[in-house]
Structure formats: structure tokens, C-alpha cells
Amino acid sequence: MSSLLPSQSPSTGPSSFESPSSMPPASRHSPIIPALCVFAGGALGTAIRAGFSFLQPASVTWPYVTFVVNLCGAFILGFLLEYLSLTGKDEGGRKLFRLFAGTGIMGGFTTYGTFILEVDSRFQAHKIGIAVAYAIVSVVCGLVLAGLGVMTANAVANHSANKYARAHHLPELPEDFGTPDLDAPDAFGDPGHLETSAPAPASNSEHKKSDEHEKGGAR
């Protein structure tokens, strides 16, 4: 009795099973490479934030360094994630870049823990107004700047798409139209389907019918 190969089944033949050697490198090492990207990005982002933290005295009333860092991070993260989602698929090098820059650097650069600690310390110091205002303004402004980052990414991606369209003599996209993947061959549709001013050449049979019709009219 012969044994079945792992990539075959008795009813359907070859299945979706792939040996590790046939997979691309990014798939074979998927458990470790993304983790390393997040780790490296997080270390870099944390180091940058730690450098900025020295600019803020411990006795400051409004933690302006943490405030500015979190708002900048909200805008950059909103822009980055939206732009990447509009301009390509989340796979391969693009996914690794998102994990490194978004999850890693921005995750380490921004800080929710320090924000909560600063709010709590002001409550403990009976600075209730400052604590409430700092918490509300940080959250509201963070949402607004994240939205602005998304809007900016849409504008930049649409500009890139229209620039691509002009370079390849394709119809430009409206401003409120979602930007397609510029790497996709059918991103703007098949140019062959576009209407042109030149009529299609008539076939031989159409020429014969036209000649017969003219002869019949002459009679």
C-alpha cells in the first residue's frame, strides 16, 4: 500500500499545503521577523520619547512634552496607516514597515501610561481642574489630529494617483474617490475599455453590405 504525500489527498489531488522550502522567505520566518520589527521600532520610539522627556521639569503644571508627543504621534499614526492602506496591500515589506514604523516606533514614541500617571498625580496634588482639562484636551485633540492625519493621507494618495494617471494618459480620479493600489495593473481600469474618438475599422462583411445597399439604391 502506497502512502499519500502531504500535498495530496485521495479525492482532490494536490491541496493548498506548501512545504517550508516552497514558501517565500517572509512567510517562512513570519513568526520572528515581524516581532523583530516591532521590537526594533519600539526601542527606537522609546529612546526618542525619553530624549524629549528631559525637556519637561518634574514640577510643571501642564505636561506639555507628553501632550505634544502624543498629539504628534496621533497625527503621524493616522497618516501612516491610512496612506499604507490606500496605496497597497498589507503584505511583504509593506507589512513589515507598518509593524516597524506604526506599531513599533509610534507605539514606543507615544505613551498612554505616562499620560495616566500625570493625570493621577495632579488629582493627588488636588489640581482637579488641571487634571480634568489635561485628560479631556489630550483625548479630544488626539482624535482630531488622527482624523487630520487620515485626511492628509487621502489627499497625498489621491495626488499621487492623479500624477500617475497623467503620466500614463489615464483619466484622473475625483477628489472624493478612494485611491486605488498604484502597483496593481488594473488600478485605473483597463485602458482598452476607455472610449476613444476614433471609430473602429469596419470589417470586410460590413463593406460588402454597404456596397450592396448603395447598388440597390442606385437602381
What is the pLDDT tens value at each position of the chain, 219 positions in all?
Answer: 444 444 444 444 444 444 444 555 544 556 799 999 999 999 999 999 999 988 888 889 999 999 999 999 999 999 999 999 999 899 999 999 999 999 999 999 999 999 999 999 999 999 999 999 999 999 999 999 999 999 999 999 988 877 777 777 777 656 555 544 445 444 444 444 334 444 455 555 555 555 555 555 555
| CA 191/CA 22 separation, integer angstroms | 35
37-92 tens-digit pLDDT: 999 999 999 999 999 988 888 889 999 999 999 999 999 999 999 999 999 899 99
Domain residue limits at 155: 30-179
203 belongs to a structural domain? no
State the Cα–Cα distance between residues 182 and 161, nearest whole angstrom: 7
**Residue 89 within a domain:** yes
Structurally, the chain folds into a number of domains equal to 1
Q: Are β-strands 13-14 and 8-9 bridged in parallel, bridged antiparallel, or unpaired?
A: antiparallel
Q: Considering the entire predicted model, what is its pTM?
A: 0.64
In a domain, 41, yes or no: yes
Has residue 107 been placed in a domain? yes
In a domain, 105, yes or no: yes
Contact 122, 137 (CB under 8 A): no
| Domain presence at residue 93 | yes
Query: For residue 131, what is its C-alpha cell?
Result: 487634571
Cα gap 40→79, rounded to integer Å: 21
Q: Nearest Cα to 159, choosing from 86, 93, 77?
A: 86
Whether 17 is covered by a domain: the verdict is no
Residue 189 in any domain: the answer is no
